[in-house]
């Protein structure tokens, strides 16, 4: 169990638990992600998925357990250090800066990670990556952008940190079919380029479309784990979740 320092594993969660005033939101949760893996976390509402994300990012401190990033224990680190250490997140509730413009949002996200001279090029690159070039011509305030545009902007901002591990909390929520398809392609592309992605999603078609490995959370505990095919055939999972 003491195999610390395994560089092959980008993320390891060991016996991670979190309780809120006696309620166990997450209990003894274990997860291992390889470099470049595309992994999905599913589970019914209130299963503790977002809580797991918040612990990985350092927004919530775990009640017990450990978090390793590239073999290094980051359990006690602050969010800012985790961000600089290579974890990026797109949160479920839009985490944008509503009164700043599109480009300004990306600038705030990017300026810690590129030299000032390259900032404008980097902003342009990120805008292109999520196909927001057309919108960026008028450079609107973010609060005036559509929901889909905001979702992609958030992904672009999460990528601005040049992460090794990208956390996406419901990247397809509230998107139309075409928008969803574009999001799926984007995530696949990023993963293809070597980025490890861990995401939470409710839209099962979306999950089936892109996920290779799936972990199912139920009442804060790991309920099942495996490839997409295995999970789809797992009767217990169907009972609690897929079948509903």
Residues in touch with another protein (CB under 8 A): 20, 45, 50-51, 54, 57, 59-60, 78-84, 88-89, 91-93, 95-100, 104, 107-109, 111-113, 116, 120, 157, 160-161
Tell me the closest approach of the beta carbon of residue 234 to another protein, in angstroms: 26
Q: Which is nearer to another protein, 87 or 231 (CB)?
A: 87
For the record, the structure tokens of 173 come out as 């929520």
Tell me the closest approach of the beta carbon of residue 90 to another protein, in angstroms: 10
Q: Which is nearer to another protein, 75 or 92 (CB)?
A: 92
Q: Which among 21, 13, 5 has a CA at the least distance from the CA of 41?
A: 13
Q: Which among 97, 171, 91 has a CA at the least distance from the CA of 140?
A: 97
Give me the residue label for tokens 């079919």. Answer: 177
Q: Which is nearer to another protein, 100 or 135 (CB)?
A: 100
Tell me the closest approach of the beta carbon of residue 135 to another protein, in angstroms: 19
In angstroms, rounded to a whole number, what is the distance separating the alpha carbons of residues 90 and 37?
Answer: 17
Tell me the closest approach of the beta carbon of residue 78 to another protein, in angstroms: 7
Phi, psi of 58 (to 5 degrees): 95, 10
Q: Which is nearer to another protein, 43 or 234 (CB)?
A: 43
Q: Which is nearer to another protein, 10 or 231 (CB)?
A: 10
In angstroms, rounded to a whole number, what is the distance separating the alpha carbons of residues 140 and 17?
Answer: 42
Tell me the closest approach of the beta carbon of residue 83 to another protein, in angstroms: 4
Contact 108, 146 (CB under 8 A): no
Q: Which is nearer to another protein, 81 or 236 (CB)?
A: 81
Tell me the closest approach of the beta carbon of residue 233 to another protein, in angstroms: 30
Task: Give whole-number Cα distances, 168 to 86, 118, 184, 200, in Å.
Answer: 14, 26, 12, 6
Tell me the closest approach of the beta carbon of residue 26 to another protein, in angstroms: 12
Helix, strand, or coil here: 161? coil
Q: Which is nearer to another protein, 40 or 109 (CB)?
A: 109
In angstroms, rounded to a whole number, what is the distance separating the alpha carbons of residues 137 and 92?
Answer: 27
In angstroms, rounded to a whole number, what is the distance separating the alpha carbons of residues 51 and 60?
Answer: 8
Contact 11, 31 (CB under 8 A): yes
């Amino acid at each position: 169990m003491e195999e610390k320092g395994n560089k092959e594993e980008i993320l390891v969660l060991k016996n991670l638990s979190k309780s809120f005033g006696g309620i166990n939101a997450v209990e003894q949760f274990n997860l291992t992600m390889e470099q470049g893996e595309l992994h999905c976390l599913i589970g019914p509402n209130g299963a503790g998925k977002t809580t797991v994300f918040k612990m990985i990012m350092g927004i919530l401190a775990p009640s017990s357990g450990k978090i390793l990033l590239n073999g290094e224990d980051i359990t006690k680190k602050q969010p800012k250090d985790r961000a600089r250490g290579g974890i990026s997140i797109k949160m479920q509730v839009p985490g944008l800066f509503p009164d700043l413009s599109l480009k300004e949002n990306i600038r705030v996200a990017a300026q810690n990670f590129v030299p000032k001279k390259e900032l404008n090029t980097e902003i342009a690159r990120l805008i292109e990556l999520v196909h927001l070039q057309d919108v960026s011509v008028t450079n609107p305030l973010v609060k005036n952008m559509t929901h889909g545009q905001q979702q992609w902007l958030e992904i672009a901002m999460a990528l601005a940190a040049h992460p090794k591990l990208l956390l996406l909390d419901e990247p397809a929520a509230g998107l139309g079919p075409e928008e969803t398809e574009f999001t799926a392609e984007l995530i696949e592309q990023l993963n293809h380029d070597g980025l490890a992605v861990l995401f939470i999603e409710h839209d099962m078609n979306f999950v089936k479309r892109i996920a290779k490995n799936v972990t199912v959370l139920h009442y804060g505990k790991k309920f099942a784990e495996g490839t997409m095919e295995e999970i789809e055939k797992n009767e217990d999972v169907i009972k609690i979740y897929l079948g509903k």
